[in-house]
Amino acid sequence: MYHHIAVPPPAGTRTRGLFVKPERFRRQMRTLKRLGYQGCSVRDLMAWLRPGRPRKLFGITFDDGYEDLYIHALPVLQECGFTATTYFVSGAVGGFNHWDVELGFPQSRCMSLHQLQEWKALGHEVGGHTVSHRRLGELATNEARMEIVNCRRVLEDLSGAAVEAFSYPYGSFNAMTLELVEEAGFTTAASTQKKRASATDNPFCLPRLNVRRADTLPSFLWKCLVRN
């Protein structure tokens, strides 16, 4: 799980840990490729995440849909022959991270419609991350349903294709939320539970390992390939 692939903001910025330098991301992807691993979107991963299938696979996900992913991550993915999933906040396409700005965090641009469409055209997956990045586990049923259903509808209109992957903002969900996501037509949903995914995991509560600014290459490899 990544958020930003960009030069981190100054020390003391509260979102600084969510930034991974472009050269560090490139080194991470190239190293996994040299080790014989194939990076893939959640859509592609689920097709192979079954007993008896090849295991040298890892899913690549980006939350929020920032423009820096298009600028810095996309060329690396293309170079390595990897696919990935970006979970877009549908109400922020062509805009910015208003959910962070409202809390006093720095503003960051999100992908434009053209960039989202090119992301998809190059073989990467468009996933949903609600309409406005709200904590679903704290919302009333009708509010949560609107955030989930309208997100999928808008992103399908924008991308021209089915949107089947979802991610819970802030990792916030409950039993009701899982039902609403499935009811809306999504087939997977990613959480922030920190472990590697397996064929036995609930597809609507997939775990992920968060890659952060401070992760060196050894710690990245330990986190992704060794730790349970």
**Tens digits of residue pLDDT in 135-149:** 999 999 999 999 999
Structural domain harbouring 166:
4-226
Q: How many domains is the chain partitioned into structurally?
A: 1
Q: Strands, E, within the chain: which ranges?
A: 4-5, 19-20, 38-40, 57-59, 61-64, 85-88, 125-128, 165-167, 188-190
Bridge partners of 85?
A: 61, 125
Per the CB < 8 A criterion, the answer to whether 128 and 135 are in contact is no
**Tens digits of residue pLDDT in 153-172:** 999 999 999 999 999 999 99
Q: What is the pTM of this model?
A: 0.95
Give me the half-sphere count of Cα atoms (radius 13 Å) on the Cβ side of residue 136.
Answer: 29
**Tens digits of residue pLDDT in 98-154:** 999 998 889 999 999 999 999 999 999 999 999 999 999 999 999 999 999 999 999
CATH code for the domain in which residue 133 is found: 3.20.20.370
